[in-house]
Amino acid sequence: MTTTTQISQEQQVTTGATIWLTGLPSAGKTTIAYELAGRLRDEGHRVEVLDGDEIREFLSSGLGFSRADRDTNVRRIGFLAELLSRNGVKALVPVIAPYADSREAVRERHQSGGTPYLEVHVATPVEVCSVRDVKGLYAKQAAGEISGLTGVDDPYEEPASPDLRIESHTQSVQESAAALHALLTERGLA
């Protein structure tokens, strides 16, 4: 027999939400997402990290990096995140999403369905990102091997009013994840 207390605890743990971490390449989005995911799982939440590189490989492999293709990619990821979220999963989305109108379309999709959505700007300066250069993109761009690198020779439209701004270059990964967890707790999502 299920008690009222058990139902309340189950509902709390299965409240879904999309947490979109936007920022430049090598800003720390994915690292923070995985740190937060571990903490949320330890608390009993259902969590999925929708890594941008994996999505490109499996769901958006035919897309390039034009503005239209980037918009399509962001909307596809937003659809998947909203689907997971409305089914009780915390969808952590560490995806650049360089254009404000694409991010706004995802937010509106969530709002129209009543699904919680948070936008987090991992606001790491390009100078710091280029030193981190996790995937070697900044070096390739500097050597002329690639073009269209977000924040260097392709635009990145910073969020005007994100739900949270994390300056990952001034704090540890754990501190960044803790700040995001505090926001989720404040909003009744953790």
The b-or-e profile of 132-171 (16+ CB within 10 A means b, else e) is beeeebbeebeeeebeebbbbebebeebeebbbebbbbee
Query: Is a pLDDT exceeding 70 seen at residue 9?
Result: no
Mean pLDDT computed over every residue of the chain: 92
26 is in an annotated binding site: yes
Q: What is the 3-state secondary structure (H, E, C) of 97-144?
A: CCCHHHHHHHHHHHHHHCCCEEEEEECCCHHHHHHHCCCCHHHHHHCC
What residues does 165 pair with on adjacent strands? 121
Q: Does domain 17-187 have CATH number 3.40.50.300?
A: yes
The CA distance from 30 to 51, in Å, is: 7
27 is in an annotated binding site: yes
29 is in an annotated binding site: yes
Phi-psi region of 49 (alpha: psi -120 to 50; beta: other; left: phi over 0): beta
Chain segment 144-163, per-residue pLDDT in tens: 999 999 999 999 999 999 99
Chain segment 54-80, per-residue pLDDT in tens: 998 888 888 988 999 999 999 999 999
Chain segment 14-38, per-residue pLDDT in tens: 689 999 999 999 999 999 999 999 9
25 is in an annotated binding site: yes
Contacts of 42 (CB under 8 A, 6+ apart): none
Domain ranges of the chain: 17-187
R_g of the chain, CA atoms, integer Å: 17
23 is in an annotated binding site: yes
- Model's pTM, two decimal places? 0.90
